[in-house]
Amino acid sequence: MALTKISVAKGDGIGPEIMDATLEVLQAAGAQLDYEFIDLGEQVFLRGIMNGIDPQAWESIRTNRLLLKAPITTPQGGGYKSVNVTMRKAFGQYANVRPVRTFDGFVPSKHKGVDMVIVRENEESLYAGIEYRQTRDTCHGVKLISRTGTELIVRYAFEYARANGRKKVTCLIKDNIMKITDGLFHQVFDLIGAEYPDIVKDSLIVDIGMARIADTPEKFDVIVTENLYGDIVSDIASQVAGSVGLAGSMNLGVGCAMFEAVHGSAPDIAGKGIANPSGLINAAVLMLYHVGQGDVAAKIGNALLVTLEKGQHTGDIAVDKSKALSTQQFAHAVIGNLGQTPTKLTPFASVRGKGVVMPNPKTTTQSKRTKRLVGVDVFIDADTVDSMALGTKIAQAGTPVLPLQLMSSRGMAMFDPKHPSKKPETEAVTDLWACRFVGDEGKISNLDVRTVLGNLEGLGIDWVKTENLYTFDGVVGFSGRHGA
């Protein structure tokens, strides 16, 4: 059998330790792989490459289209951008697939019979990390949800369910609050789901959905959700199932496929040789199925299960911590168990399902729509608590075709020019104000918007951002204000 060439990144923190352990297991199991080692992450940033990806690494990934990757450290609250997010977007990896299961009787968990797969949208939502600071006091994050991106992930989830004999797909959304972004995700779920009558469909508001996953995880099958919710829910699910150290995941799409553990670089235990390599080993198992080496995948998967059945555990899951194995001892235990089949836990099969049809962006439906400009929200920076005086001034910037309709702060109505002396329900506590100018649908243009902006400048108002307001096929494409 010809060797399959893959790029391998050892990552940061516990990355090198768990990658070495995983490669030892792959080697012993006879995986037909040829490794090309690349640098990603912290060491690359330290060399001054600001996206954290070495040019030679880009080339290797583009050519091999397969990457086994250990976790990478991303600084919190500042510093360089996440290499993981860059990779997922650059290589069009729209689907992040995270199987989670319990190992009943062998890995302590409050739950039994958990066997779910989280299909997480991987390129959009708040997780895209598109953020701005506009004023002394405020910043905005962009929650981007596209119809194309949503169709891809939802269709993938149903295709995955069908190919793997799964019965139900549950969609997690928050469309009672985010009616436009999460509303679109939910609509697309209903639309695409109708094409899969053989699969049960269910949707839950994300907060109660996560509570139920923590409480009765055994009731879930396939979960499809947006990027940020999927990130949170997969850590909850894998922790509930025993340890974040156990779950592997794959990132699939139109470019290269990337396989990694669900957990991060665990700096708190890095260098101690005690990390559980199972998450990365499970990711490697997913990769072997993906490249058609199902027999080796099953051999490793089963050896891992036998290892757990024998109570050969790393510290994160060991009941008797004094008997916990090191990362390397655990890898050697798995190697010693190669060729054995678990006695209680369901074994891995050498062939997995029918192979999932990966949807292509070109095949997604695009609704026909007539888009009409109806107004603009102009965000202004004004450090005042006197909303009536500010609103009265802003109203002067309106024109006969594009008058001020409302001024708000943090989504609360603060000034209505039709009732200029009406006091708002609450005082503004911040310095960013949204001023909504609305005209007749189809009768205004960007020129009118520019006139309003020019008028604001003439009044000495600091406008910091604008958001045009449109209708699509007559349906309003923007949110209203509370208390208006």
As a three-state string, the secondary structure of 156-223 is HHHHHHHHCCCCEEEEEECCCCCCCHHHHHHHHHHHHHCCCCCCEEEEEEHHHHHHHHHHCHHHCCEE
Q: Which of 10, 263, 299, 313 binds ligand NAD (CB under 6 A)?
A: 263
The first and second tokens of residue 270, run together, are: 């890095």
227 binds ligand NAD (CB under 6 A): no
Q: Count the site residues for ligand NAD by CB under 6 A.
A: 20
19 binds ligand NAD (CB under 6 A): no
**Interacting stretch for ligand NAD, rule CB under 6 A, among 194-202, 265-273, 391-399, 428-436?**
265-273
Is residue 273 within 8 Å of residue 326, measured between CB atoms? Answer: yes
The residue of the chain with the least Cβ separation from ligand NAD equals 264
99 binds ligand NAD (CB under 6 A): no
Distance of alpha carbon 427 from its chain centroid, rounded?
Answer: 36
Q: Which of 40, 95, 188, 266 binds ligand NAD (CB under 6 A)?
A: 266
Q: Which is nearer to ligand NAD, 73 or 293 (CB)?
A: 73
CA–CA separation, 214 vs 453, rounded Å? 49
293 binds ligand NAD (CB under 6 A): no
CA geometry: angle 96, 100, 105, nearest 5 deg: 165
Is residue 333 within 8 Å of residue 307, measured between CB atoms? Answer: yes
**Interacting stretch for ligand NAD, rule CB under 6 A, among 176-184, 268-276, 287-295, 460-468?**
268-276
CB of residue 67 to ligand NAD, shortest distance in Å: 12
Question: What's the length of the chain?
Answer: 484
Q: Are strands 95-101 and 168-173 parallel, antiparallel or unpaired?
A: unpaired
245 binds ligand NAD (CB under 6 A): yes
What are the start-end ranges of the H helices in 252-293? 278-290
CB of residue 335 to ligand NAD, shortest distance in Å: 18
Q: Which of 244, 285, 373, 435 binds ligand NAD (CB under 6 A)?
A: 244
Q: Which is nearer to ligand NAD, 52 or 359 (CB)?
A: 52
Q: Which is nearer to ligand NAD, 205 or 318 (CB)?
A: 318
Give the contact letters, 54-93, x = binds to ligand NAD (CB under 6 A), - = no: -----------------xxxx---------x---------
316 binds ligand NAD (CB under 6 A): yes
Q: Which of 39, 159, 260, 416 binds ligand NAD (CB under 6 A)?
A: 260
Rg (CA), the chain: 26
Q: Which is nearer to ligand NAD, 87 or 456 (CB)?
A: 87
CB of residue 321 to ligand NAD, shortest distance in Å: 12
Q: Which of 64, 122, 227, 276 binds ligand NAD (CB under 6 A)?
A: 276
CA–CA separation, 434 vs 429, rounded Å? 14
Q: Among 432, 441, 428, which residue's Cα sits nearest to residue 465?
A: 432
Which one-letter DSSP state was computed for residue 385? S
Would residue 266 be called left, alpha or beta, if left means φ above 0 and alpha means ψ between -120 and 50 degrees? Answer: left
CB of residue 256 to ligand NAD, shortest distance in Å: 15
Cα-Cα end-to-end distance for the chain: 69
CB of residue 17 to ligand NAD, shortest distance in Å: 9
264 binds ligand NAD (CB under 6 A): yes
Question: Would you list the DSSP string of 250-263?
Answer: EEESSS-EEEEESS
275 binds ligand NAD (CB under 6 A): yes
Crossing angle of helices 327-336 and 294-309, rounded to 10°: 110
CA–CA separation, 84 vs 117, rounded Å? 20
Q: Which is nearer to ligand NAD, 42 or 182 (CB)?
A: 42
Q: Which is nearer to ligand NAD, 14 or 298 (CB)?
A: 14
Q: Which is nearer to ligand NAD, 275 or 304 (CB)?
A: 275
Binding residues vs ligand NAD (CB under 6 A): 14, 71-74, 84, 244-245, 260, 263-269, 275-276, 279, 316
